[in-house]
Amino acid sequence: MLLQSTTKVSESVESSESLTGRHAIVLKNLGFRRNGLLLFDGLSEQFSAGETTCILGVSGVGKSSLLRVIAGLLPDPEFGSACDEDGRSLRGRIAYMAQDDLLLPWANVFRNVTLGCRLRGDDIDDDNARELIQLVGLAEHVEALPHTLSGGMRQRVALARTLMEKRPIALLDEPFSALDALTRYQLQSLVAELFRGRTVVIVTHDPVEALRLGHSIRVMYGRPALLSEPMRLGGQPPRDPTAPKVASLQRELLNRLGISPAEV
Amino acid sequence: MQPFRLRKITIKTIARGLVTITVFIVLWELIIWGTSIPHYLLPGPMEVLRAWGKWSEVILQHASVTLLEIVLGLIIGTMVGIVSATIIAQVRAARRWLLPVLVVSQAIPVFAIAPLLVMWLGYGIASKIAMAALIIYFPVTASFLDGLRRTDPGWLDLVQIMTSKTSGNSWAALRLVRVPAAMPSLASGIRVAAAVAPIGAVVGEWVGSGAGLGYLMLHSNARTQIDVMFAALVTLAVIAVALYFTVDWLMRHLVAWQSDTFS
């Protein structure tokens, strides 16, 4: 099923060039304070267009806040801004997915996936919605209500909803941390395939997830927090986490996170 | 107001209720039999039943008037409450100017203005409908408003990103997200309303009317037909309970998506 979806999606991604254009994320001197605590300050970074950047860090370091500032959900970052490489606002180009699937419990899968279109009053591309629902493996559950689905299935619906937005930038905030290991693994593969070519930022506290999905990994650390230099990973995600090369990268990553080999 | 809610109705709950009522009736009969309370103060259950049989036509006729008042009051009060809550939730100026008035207005006992309503709207059913609508207006408005204001912030974030607006407060968001999300709160409010609406109607009838169970009770009280008064009272209780369970059933279907596993 996954292989099938792979070919199909790469076609649809290639056909929509607007999703893969100049959509880097540029942070200019970004700062944010929460409850009087300076979470990060003077962040000037760039997340490359068309690539997946994984931001790895311990809980509470400010990863989610950074993502929310980029998404424009925290209207008052103390200073600085996030824009693309041409200095244009990112508004209207972002799709967002959180750890909580945020499905509307009264709406069936189809209506959840098409929520964005309905909110904007756009015409609903029925075929496209059904195709995406099929891609995430829920063709038989188009009419199902969320509470009848498992956690993994619900997150698949959220994934289809995120894709339905047809935005060139995707911000994923620990999208799979509430799922069991196997489901997480499946969904990671799906994300790697379905978002290929778009600018994706994934916030996670799971080094293995970062290694599977990222073209590059940034570690967020300290207070106010900084981002490490990008750790570039070769090859195309999704990577096999058991490959020897990935395992050695994981060792390096844990070193960067400040965990010595003795602790591992 | 604390929303209250009975557990799901099953054969068992109904059976338990019947047992309790039977025990109550037996106790009542025993008290009549064992003490010397005069019959014009407390008639026995059998006497009430006999009165009901004798006067059933009159009682049912008055009951239909009261039922109409309650149901219309419930519908009107609920609709006005829903509209008010929506406006208060959505329009900032309304929130600032109307909300304090709404809260303070609750300090005025609705019973105190019943004579006024009768004077303005007459002895017919209009004043009773107004009374019932008025008494349920606040619980409905308050609960729906509460629901509208407590939309999951995650959903509002999603709406904000999807619509590229600076807030998730648009009318589309209201229709597609916030109103459906507030339905369980509204359902609690309407349940409370169904329980108190009969009070409004009957109080209205006591103040001045020519029909309805409240009128019948006053009338039979004046003529010391205590058994008829009790028969009317029992009828009112049956109407109130039936109404509550009907509304509860409707509300359960309205928020059927809110399964027991959903939190």
Q: Taking the domains of chain A in order of start, what are their residue ranges?
A: 2-93+167-263, 103-166
Closest CB to B161 among A71, A75, A145: A71
Q: Please tell me if residue B261 touches chain A, with a CB cutoff of 8 Å.
A: yes
CATH number of A2-93+167-263: 3.40.50.300
Q: Is the pLDDT of residue B241 over 80?
A: yes
Considering the domain boundaries, does residue B93 fall inside one? yes
Q: Give the mean pLDDT of B90-104.
A: 85
CB contact under 8 A, B180 and A107: yes
Q: Is the pLDDT of residue B78 over 90?
A: yes
Greatest alpha-carbon pair distance for chain A in Å reads 58
Q: Is the pLDDT of residue B109 over 50?
A: yes
A88-102 pLDDT, tens digit each: 888 889 999 988 999
Q: Please tell me if residue A104 touches chain B, with a CB cutoff of 8 Å.
A: yes
A150-164 pLDDT, tens digit each: 999 999 999 999 999
Considering the domain boundaries, does residue B7 fall inside one? no
Residue owning tokens 């931001």: A55
CB contact under 8 A, A102 and B158: yes
Position B2 scores a pLDDT of 38
B127-140 pLDDT, tens digit each: 999 999 999 999 99
B24-43 pLDDT, tens digit each: 999 998 988 888 888 788 88
Q: Are B224 and A112 in contact (CB under 8 A)?
A: no
Contacts of B164 in chain A (CB under 8 A): 91-92
Indicate the DSSP class of residue B178.
I
Q: Is the pLDDT of residue A16 over 90?
A: no
Interface test with B, best of A68, A103, A104 (most B CBs within 10 A): A104
Domain count, chain B: 1
CB contact under 8 A, B163 and A118: no
Contacts of A107 in chain B (CB under 8 A): 180
Q: How far apart are CA A62 and CA A67, in angstroms?
A: 9
Q: Give the mean pLDDT of A58-64.
A: 87
Considering the domain boundaries, does residue B13 fall inside one? no
Considering the domain boundaries, does residue B259 fall inside one? no
Q: Judging by beta carbons within 10 Å of its beta carbon (0-12, 13-18, 19+), is residue B87 exposed, middle or buried?
A: middle
Position B130 scores a pLDDT of 92
Q: Give the mean pLDDT of A229-237.
A: 85
Considering the domain boundaries, does residue B90 fall inside one? yes
Q: Please tell me if residue A100 touches chain B, with a CB cutoff of 8 Å.
A: yes
CB contact under 8 A, B172 and A116: no
Considering the domain boundaries, does residue B21 fall inside one? no
Question: Considering only A158-167, B50-59, B98-107, which range has the smallest mean pLDDT?
Answer: B98-107
Q: Are B179 and B172 in contact (CB under 8 A)?
A: no
Which CATH number is B112's domain given? 1.10.3720.10
Contacts of B159 in chain A (CB under 8 A): 119
Q: Is the peptide bond before B38 cis (omega within 30 degrees of 0)?
A: no
CB contact under 8 A, A102 and B160: no
Burial B98-126 (b: 16+ CB within 10 A, else e): beeebeeeeeeebeebbeebbeebebebb
Considering the domain boundaries, does residue B29 fall inside one? no
Helix then strand count (H, E) for chain A reads: 9, 10
Q: Which two tokens stand for residue A205?
A: 């506290």
Q: Which domain range does residue B171 map to?
A: 48-254
Q: How far apart are CA B130 and CA B80, in angstroms?
A: 12
ipTM of the predicted assembly exceeds 0.95:
no
Considering the domain boundaries, does residue B34 fall inside one? no
